[in-house]
């Protein structure tokens, strides 16, 4: 670790056998692009910045609204009307000023994502629509990027990871997942949700990202985790390439 400050700040992570000093250095060196700074994105940004990720890019073209505040906990009423990426940058700068931050006030599609994606090691999809996820999927395949997606609908959540190529073997893609139609991905704007569900799913997504950074083999590549927060039951299913 670089200094005593970092040793103390991340000590509870470093003492984990799965992380240790080497894993913390990997976290410090990594760059993550977070697409969507809403409920999921807020939680992912919160936990990744707290973990000491070296660089975070934030993509969103929305502004903070009053209806966001029940689940997007990095924002407050004093942020109403402000760009989400600016408010998120301000949050990170205050909580962990050593992190490099880039912001993009755009709506992601296959035309503009290639201009951004090569600056990042891993992509966190926190968007709220299938069209954006398909753009992320196709671009990540083309540029051989790993990405982690999450979605919430009501009291249900899902998380899955995608790697275009691993050990010269083709892996499953988001398009494969869509063909299986495992999960209804209607967003919270359509069917509603509560902040604790979104925050928990975002926390799981951030955990999956950290596991991929440190090279933990117990990950969700080629799999999808589905969680029911009414019954507290979960299932992990294999995603087959089609």
How high is the pLDDT of residue 5? 84
What are the pLDDT digits (tens) for 155-180?
999 999 999 765 555 689 999 888 86
CATH of 21-238, one of 1.10.10.10, 2.170.270.10, 3.90.940.20, 3.40.50.720: 3.40.50.720
Length of the chain: 242
Q: Which whole number is the average pLDDT over 84-103?
A: 97
How high is the pLDDT of residue 230? 96
Partners of 59 in the β-ladder: 35, 104
What are the pLDDT digits (tens) for 14-58?
999 999 999 999 999 999 999 999 999 999 999 999 999 999 999
For residues 151 and 124, is the Cβ–Cβ distance under 8 A? no
Ordered strands of the 146-153 beta sheet: 100-104, 55-59, 31-35, 122-125, 146-153, 156-162, 223-228, 233-238
At 67 the three-state DSSP class reads helix
- Which residues, other chains included, contact 190 with Cβ-Cβ below 8 Å and sequence gap of 6+? none
């Amino acid at each position: 670790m670089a200094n005593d400050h970092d040793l103390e700040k991340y000590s509870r992570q470093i003492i984990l056998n799965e992380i240790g000093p080497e894993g913390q250095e990997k976290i410090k060196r990594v760059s993550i692009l977070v697409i969507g700074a809403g409920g999921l994105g807020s939680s992912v940004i919160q936990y990744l910045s707290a973990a000491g990720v070296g660089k975070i890019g934030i993509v969103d073209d929305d502004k903070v609204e009053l209806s966001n505040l029940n689940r997007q906990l990095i924002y407050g009423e004093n942020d109403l009307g402000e760009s989400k990426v600016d408010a998120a940058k301000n949050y990170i700068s205050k909580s962990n000023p050593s992190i490099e931050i880039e912001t993009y006030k755009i709506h992601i599609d296959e035309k503009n994502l290639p201009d951004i994606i090569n600056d990042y090691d891993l992509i966190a999809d926190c968007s709220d629509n299938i069209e954006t996820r398909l753009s992320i999927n196709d671009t990540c395949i083309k540029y051989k990027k790993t990405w982690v997606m999450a979605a919430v609908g009501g009291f249900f959540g899902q998380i899955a990871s995608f790697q275009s190529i691993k050990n010269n073997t083709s892996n499953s893609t988001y398009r494969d997942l869509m063909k299986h139609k495992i999960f209804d991905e209607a967003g919270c704007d359509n069917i509603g949700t509560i902040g604790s569900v979104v925050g928990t799913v975002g926390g799981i997504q951030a955990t999956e990202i950290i596991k991929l950074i440190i090279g933990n083999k117990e990950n969700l590549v080629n799999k999808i985790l589905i969680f029911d927060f009414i019954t507290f039951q979960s299932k992990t299913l294999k995603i087959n390439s089609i």
